């Protein structure tokens, strides 16, 4: 999976990147779907599924509060939990696509011999349509939850996985920039640039005269006077 990357790189705290903040509408949609699914599961007496969906709703709400400041802590865990719940929701859904089956066991014969009691049971498997108006709202409500729950978990896994990837990439870029800046600062400290002495040129005056030097720095001047030839001995 793409979001199961190296988690050793620290994720920056605070608000997530802009790409994650732009998905706020989808996070609100996810919370609405989770709320509806949890209520239907409780109404159809699916207590285990309702409690699990309510826990995922609480985590999603906590991740979206305070400007998604806590997204960096729970994004990866939420994505993994959503995928796990998606797997367990898809198994009964795929097995019920052709119709929901109800299994009942009834005793049909009982025989007693001395100190033995033999009971014969019959297993009755009854297959019904996925939606059936004759079965009432509890039956059809359970069918609706079997569809809504995988949708919620798939959406949650996508949003949390995408958020983790964006925050991980941002942290990697920030860490790389800090490393480059530290290397450049270390090089500048170890190898300082030599200072250049600024030589100021002395302006020339009239012929045979030179302006006095303005500074104590050694200045090399060109001879501009009249030349004389020495007489021979």
Q: Where are the domains of the chain?
A: 18-97+137-188
Asked if 67 and 83 touch (Cβ cutoff 8 Å), the reply is no
Of 142 and 10, more confident: 142
- CA 104/CA 126 separation, integer angstroms: 8
Quote the percentage of the chain above a pLDDT of 90. Answer: 38
Question: For residue 24, what pLDDT band results from cuts at 50, 70 and 90?
Answer: very high
> What Cα–Cα distance (Å) separates residue 10 from each residue in 20, 164, 174?
17, 12, 10
Per the structure block, which two tokens stand in for 181? 């800046």
Rounded to a whole number of angstroms, the CA Rg of the chain reads 41
Instruction: Compute, in degrees rounded to 10, the torsion defined by CA atoms 77, 79, 81, 84.
Output: -140
Phi-psi label, residue 176: left if phi above 0, alpha if psi -120 to 50, beta otherwise: alpha
């Amino acid at each position: 999976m793409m979001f199961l990357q190296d988690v050793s790189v620290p994720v920056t705290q605070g608000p997530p990147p802009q790409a994650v903040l732009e998905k706020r509408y989808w996070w609100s949609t996810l919370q609405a779907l989770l709320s509806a699914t949890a209520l239907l599961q409780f109404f159809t007496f699916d207590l285990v599924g309702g409690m699990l969906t309510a826990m995922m709703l609480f985590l999603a709400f906590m991740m979206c509060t305070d400007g998604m400041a806590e997204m960096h802590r729970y994004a990866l865990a939420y994505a993994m939990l959503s995928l796990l719940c998606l797997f367990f929701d898809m198994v009964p859904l795929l097995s019920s696509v052709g119709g929901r089956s109800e299994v009942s066991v009834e005793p049909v014969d009982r025989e007693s011999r001395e100190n033995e009691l033999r009971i014969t049971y019959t297993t009755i498997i009854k297959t019904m349509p996925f939606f059936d108006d004759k079965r009432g709202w509890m039956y059809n409500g359970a069918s609706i939850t079997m569809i809504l729950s995988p949708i919620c978990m798939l959406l949650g896994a996508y949003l949390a996985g995408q958020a983790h990837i964006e925050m991980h990439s941002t942290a990697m870029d920030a860490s790389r920039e800090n490393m480059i800046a530290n290397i450049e600062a270390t090089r500048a400290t170890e190898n300082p640039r030599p200072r250049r002495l600024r030589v100021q040129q002395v302006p020339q005056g009239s012929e045979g005269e030179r302006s006095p030097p303005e500074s104590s720095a050694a200045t090399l001047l060109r001879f501009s006077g009249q030349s004389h030839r020495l007489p021979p001995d």
